[in-house]
Amino acid sequence: MVARDCISTFPLARCETETFGIAELCKEFGVTARALRFYEEEGLVSPRREGAVRVYSRRDRARLVWILRGRSLGFSLDEIGELLDLYDLGDGRVQQRAMTVRRCREHAERLRHELDEIRDRIEQLTAFADRLEQGR
């Protein structure tokens, strides 16, 4: 398995467009309309409605990128929502960045622990199989 960088996998290219349709965002980020509607139901994006049509803002587009990056790193939607809400503090994203760093480090530490447990289990399985092959 090749590790992918969440930033290059889900880039937020500059654009001059102010609004986006659901099909545009689906195509740009490789997500389904159902996924976008789900993120809306979860309160992570808030497109306005023009009749039955959802109109996404630049803010929604940026939030979608954060959602996709967070999901690719194993964050829950609740965690992503908390991080997204920190953007609105108006502090130049200082709190958002600090909390994101903290959460990334916590996740990395948890994964290191899980990896150690997996390595131990592999060793146990290998030793058990070796003993069985040797007739012990």
For the chain, domain boundaries: 16-133
| pTM (2 d.p.) | 0.79
Q: Which fold has domain 16-133?
A: Multidrug-efflux Transporter Regulator; Chain: A; Domain 2 (1.10.1660)
DSSP assignment of the chain, as one string? -----HHHHS-------SEE-HHHHHHHHT--HHHHHHHHHTTS---EEETTEEEEEHHHHHHHHHHHHHHHTT--HHHHHHHHHGGGG-STTHHHHHHHHHHHHHHHHHHHHHHHHHHHHHHHHHHHHHHHHTT-
| Structure confidence by residue, pLDDT tens digits, 86-109 | 888 888 888 989 999 999 999 999
**Average pLDDT of the residues of the chain:** 89
| Structure confidence by residue, pLDDT tens digits, 14-25 | 777 889 999 999
